[in-house]
Structure 1
């Protein structure tokens, strides 16, 4: 993979940033959802004052800034230089936030067993199965034994069919970089199988299906 494939996530205007974060969802609605997800993530990962956390695809750093005061450390990891710069600005009041550019390495340059937990929202929805496996394999390495990771992906459902139809209308004319920004579709069986192959245990009781937007918690297996 080359950095050109990541250009879909670079931006230079506030409008461009918001488009990459949430499509055409109004910013107040997007920010409200991010704030709601802060408590949701903290609960599912059982975060506490000693937790060291990884966010994959941190975007502008809104959730990292909200979680920083609750935990020991959080690392914002993103493929986008412009988003990491924005995250530094958003989290400037928090000395316990670090930053990592994912530069064609799928987290390979992060230290092993260095995080208690991690999360990634609205990121894996853009990845193909090969990319998902690469990230899962590295997550099983950087998480400590028993560490949990919560993420979401897309199946076709009541909420997600409009996403499919919207991308379908422009798919044939899309350039490679634009196509990379479109969403991908994976069944929960596929995602669970990729996780197990990579050394992560899917927790079936954690699965939440919001009309095709599926949330799942994974746990690093003791032998990973």
Structure 2
């Protein structure tokens, strides 16, 4: 699996079913997502996540936010209600076209096509919040690791990160299929049985692996390591256990020790 394969698959998903591909709901296939209802789901999610950061004493400055894997702009619009500017990055040009159509920010969102293995369009220490939800698992593991290191580079001291990923398959039939079945078979089932416009590959990410990549990125940038301060289980389902990791970037010269020592990791 390569980034080019991911780009091709999500280009097709963005062209055929952009809103459903972002929020997979069997009842919304065939263009049945109402645009405002779709955006409202992003508002609910961002409000809850930023409320959690505030509860943890880690609310970021309301300067610039990065929405990584922004898709059709579901979260970007919600972030733009709370930050002075938002940059939404995605690998799919059709997704970004739809995001621009749904832009309700009055010009505060910049959408950027990013097909490479890094975030070179963003300077060091340039964002106050990195937000990504249910994106990293669709990428090849080495590419996801590189982006995690980039998050540590582009985050300002005192910034926060919100990272939503599955950390393991559930011990159910569907979960075990994804754990043990060969990818070509899963790909065929998604295309033929489930009739996906393009397949969605999945990888799990543990808190320990995430913390290690963030630390490596910070070290390369000469910065203290970000620290996971909480990992909350959310969005159930019978395939994977999903965790939303809340991360702080030190601003006082601390070394970020105990990087996986937050709540419920």
- TM-score, normalising length: structure 2: 0.69
Question: Where in structure 2 are there 5+ consecutive unaligned residues?
Answer: 192-197, 219-224, 256-265
Distance in 1 between the 2:199 and 2:250 partners? 31
Residue in 1 that maps onto 2:216: 197
Q: Which has the larger radius of gyration?
A: 2
Bigger shift: 166-175 or 190-199?
166-175
Could you tell me how far 1:34 is from its partner in structure 2?
2.8
What is the alpha-carbon root mean square deviation over aligned residues? 3.3
Residue in 2 that maps onto 1:185: 204
Distance in 1 between the 2:6 and 2:15 partners? 21
Contact 1:160 1:213 survives alignment (8 Å) = no
Distance in 1 between the 2:175 and 2:22 partners? 15
Bigger shift: 25-34 or 135-144?
25-34
Question: Where in structure 1 are there 5+ consecutive unaligned residues?
Answer: none
Contact 1:124 1:132 survives alignment (8 Å) = yes
Report whether the alignment pairs 1:3 with 2:16. no
Q: Deviations over 1:12-39 (max 9, x none)?
A: 7775224421344544699364332020
Bigger shift: 159-168 or 129-138?
159-168
- TM-score, normalising length: structure 1: 0.81
Q: 1:214 aligns with which of 243, 248, 260?
A: 243
Count of residues in correspondence between the two structures: 220
Distance in 2 between the 1:195 and 1:100 partners? 23
Contact 2:160 2:249 survives alignment (8 Å) = yes
Contact 1:208 1:215 survives alignment (8 Å) = yes
